[in-house]
Structure 1
Amino acid sequence: MVGDASKDAAKKNGASPSSPAKSSGGGSAGDDTSSTGPTEDKAGGSSSGGETGGSGEGPSGSGACKTSQLAFSTSNGAGQGSILVNMKNTGSAACTLNGFPGADLSGADGTLNASRTDLPATPVSVKPGQSAHFSLNYTPNESGGSGVTFDSVVVTPPNETHSQTLPVSVNLAVADNDSSSVTVDPVSAG
């Protein structure tokens, strides 16, 4: 019976990624750090992609960053319940990340779309070799139950349609397993 409840809860998507939600704070994502390069870029991608708009990369190299020119990695966030997703410009020209990325947690029991926080988004220019990042925030499972575990996050940079899948380990309580319990911040420099 509990297994059925966790599967049903894991498939619940709740609010759309474009609706604002309060950030659940920072936290540790565990000790695992992962990194993937631009060659693992996947077409089609996440339904919770970034804001629309932006231009292709022009002669000055200041266009929107493409998934294919970014290397992705994860690291521990500010505290328990936070993962930093880092995006390094591996291209030969500067590009811009502006807005909220799409972030979908995925696991054996389903997919959960992260909701956007109410933090303001500002354009971030990323020179070759430099990185930008965003925080994926969640409420860790402290219920004493097994909860629902997600083992990957599908990231779609702002203004892009191609996604990158990264390994993570996120466990949510069954009752908290909706999109309001997982939030994504806008892209920041650094």
Structure 2
Amino acid sequence: MRLHRTSAAIAVAAATALSLTACDGEGAADSAPAGASASAIPDTGASRDGGTESPSAAESTEATGGGDTQASASGAPRVGDGTCRTSDLSFSSSGGMAEGEVLINLKNTGSAACSMRGFPGLDLEGKDGTVSAERSDRSAPTVTLAPGEGTNFSLHFPPGTGDGSGVTFTSALVTPPNETHAHRMSLAVGVPVDAGTAHRITVDPVGSGK
């Protein structure tokens, strides 16, 4: 998972949190205090989609100010192969079944049926930086959508403490499986900042939500 940029103020908070952790003698990653810097979120590698390795949505796309963005990486999408394309999908979010879970809903707005299988790319964006969600360990079904039909996938994250000490992300870049175009959507997600937070931000395969 990759942190692309972090403010100086957050970096100072990280140093303070590390100092307090050393004093307590408890350095476990998952028990670091909330309020630590987003710089503590480690870089764990690029997002993947559709079972094949690909850059994260933030790296593989060049933003155009909102909505769909076009990939800057080489390799144009295949045309007419029945794969669900970003341009033929609508994106929305809804509450998940538990705290720390959000459903990302995808609907086929095209004129023909399409299919997809695999993990989406998802990057959470905020004023303090960008974090790429990792894959969960769930298996990926094949999803076929007739025009007007929808599916979803789950985003999992450690819930924030609610005291304003964590990091709030305000948007997400979502790349469907086997696609090279991402869609930017508004998404408010608050997480605590500690050394284990990044590893607990994960996505399930498309079609495996409730």
Which letter maps to 1:124? V
For normalisation by structure 2, the TM-score amounts to 0.67
Question: By percentage of residues, which structure has more helix?
Answer: 2
1:122: Cα distance to partner?
1.4
Unaligned runs of 5+ in 1: 19-38
Partner of 1:31: none
Partner of 1:120: 139
Distance 2:135 2:38 in 1: 24
Partner of 2:47: 17
Distance 2:183 2:122 in 1: 10
Q: Does the aligned pair in 1 maintain the 2:10–2:128 contact within 8 Å?
A: no
Partner of 1:155: 174
1:84: Cα distance to partner?
0.6
Given the superposition, is the C-alpha separation of residues 143 and 71 from structure 1 closer, same or farther in structure 2, using an over 3 Å criterion? closer
Partner of 1:94: 113
Partner of 2:99: 80
Distance 1:91 1:119 in 2: 28
Distance 2:165 2:93 in 1: 24
Deviations 1:93-129 (A, max 9, x none): 0000110000110111111110101100011001000
Question: Identical aligned pairs, as a percentage?
Answer: 42
Unaligned runs of 5+ in 2: 1-7, 15-36, 49-65
Distance 2:155 2:90 in 1: 17
Q: Tell me which of 37, 43, 53 is aligned to 2:70.
A: 43
1:70: Cα distance to partner?
0.3
Q: Does the aligned pair in 2 maintain the 1:153–1:167 contact within 8 Å?
A: yes
Structure with greater Cα Rg? 2
Structure 1 SS opposite 2:87: helix
Deviates more, 1:172-181 or 1:90-99: 172-181
> Is 1:106 equivalent to 2:113 in the alignment?
no
Which letter maps to 1:172? V
Which letter maps to 1:108? K
Q: Does the aligned pair in 2 maintain the 1:112–1:178 contact within 8 Å?
A: no
1:9: Cα distance to partner?
3.0
Given the superposition, is the C-alpha separation of residues 149 and 177 from structure 1 closer, same or farther in structure 2, using an over 3 Å criterion? farther
Distance 2:163 2:44 in 1: 24
Higher relative contact order (CA 8 A, sep 6+): 1
Q: Does the aligned pair in 1 maintain the 2:158–2:197 contact within 8 Å?
A: no
Q: Does the aligned pair in 1 maintain the 2:191–2:197 contact within 8 Å?
A: no
